[in-house]
Amino acid sequence: MAGTELQNTQLRQIDGGAVLLFSRAVEAQIERVWRAVSKPDQIGAWFVPTGPWVPVRELDTLLGSPVGQATVGEAPYEICWVKDDDRYDFRLAARGPHTLVELSVPVDEPEDAPAAADFVDSYLDRLAPYLAGEDLAHLASVDLDETQRRIVAYARRFGVDPARGLEMVAGIRAAIEKSAHAQPWHFEPSQEAADAFEVRMTAYVREHKEALDAAMTRHGDDDSALMTALDEWILPTATSVEQVGARHLFVLDRYLADESIAISDLESAWRQTHSDR
């Protein structure tokens, strides 16, 4: 989104729960937009990442992998995706040369809505360029100052406290700061690679915010093991920004799963699944 301009996003109470309602008009025929929101390979190319999107009939073959489960609704252009416990209901309607895209997303509590609205909006921004065949790489950058301002603006619109969303932004900033300054890299990354690393880490922290908070609580709010892994395993051995990013996410995944992130355990676990060393 450009600047702090907000999209036509509303927070409603539906069936006793808080639901975000998004509405976008895109310049494309409805059949083309329908493919973009209903085909697993297409929705995975522009919408919320993490794990594959697959038709419901294939779920039992994935043995617990994170998936998007699709259910086609009664209307001709209506589909619900349930992905990693999050629900996305798309409805399309033809409006001349345009297609109206309506999306509803439940949130756990109204206080979660400002950050969730900004998060989903950032992906809906990718739909029109995707339909036009544009490269989406230029939309990957995240401006945390703008994110913070939009969260405050959405909180004002929704009439809720922005504190929860601002805490999320602060957590992302802290994670990036620790990653970037815990120890100097012993190689000189290009600005493009450094920016890509920041985007990747920001997206991960945003996507796993609740799980990270829960893991920190389980570990007594002690991140010393994470910092040790960063200082003594990731940074001393990585030879590129890409390796720093991959190993950092590897450590975080193990941390979320309550698996050991001791240096000796990390090295052996990494060697079992990676071949860049």
Asked if 70 and 80 touch (Cβ cutoff 8 Å), the reply is yes
Same domain, 129 and 76: yes
Tell which residue, 121, 80, 76, has the closest CA to residue 94: 76
Asked if 27 and 98 touch (Cβ cutoff 8 Å), the reply is yes
Asked if 21 and 104 touch (Cβ cutoff 8 Å), the reply is yes
pLDDT of 109 reads: 92
Phi first, then psi: give them for residue 250, nearest 5 degrees.
Answer: -60, -45
Instruction: Note whether residue 96 is domain-resident.
Output: yes
pLDDT in tens, 63-97: 334 455 667 777 789 988 887 678 889 999 999 89
Tell me the pTM: 0.62
Parent domain of 98: 10-139
For residue 14, give the CATH number of its domain. Answer: 3.30.530.20
Same domain, 185 and 243: yes
pLDDT of 268 reads: 86
Instruction: Note whether residue 148 is domain-resident.
Output: no
pLDDT in tens, 37-69: 988 888 888 987 655 665 544 333 333 344 556
pLDDT of 154 reads: 94
* CA dist., res. 63 & res. 59, Å (int): 8
Find where tokens 């209901």 sit.
Answer: 89
Q: Which helix (H) or strand (E) holds 23?
A: strand 17-26
pLDDT of 49 reads: 64
Bridge-partner residues for 89, per DSSP?
80, 104
What single-letter DSSP state applies at residue 250? Answer: H
Asked if 90 and 81 touch (Cβ cutoff 8 Å), the reply is yes
pLDDT in tens, 18-30: 999 999 999 999 9
The Cβ of residue 109 has, within 10 Å, a number of other Cβ atoms equal to 10
First to last CA, the chain: 40
The tally of CA atoms less than 13 A away on the side-chain side of residue 35 is: 6
1: pLDDT strictly greater than 50: no
pLDDT in tens, 202-232: 778 778 877 887 888 887 767 778 878 877 8
For the chain, the domain total comes to 2
Same domain, 29 and 112: yes
Instruction: Note whether residue 201 is domain-resident.
Output: yes
**174: Cβ contacts below 8 Å, ≥ 6 apart:** none
pLDDT of 207 reads: 81
Calculate mean pLDDT across residues 235-261.
84
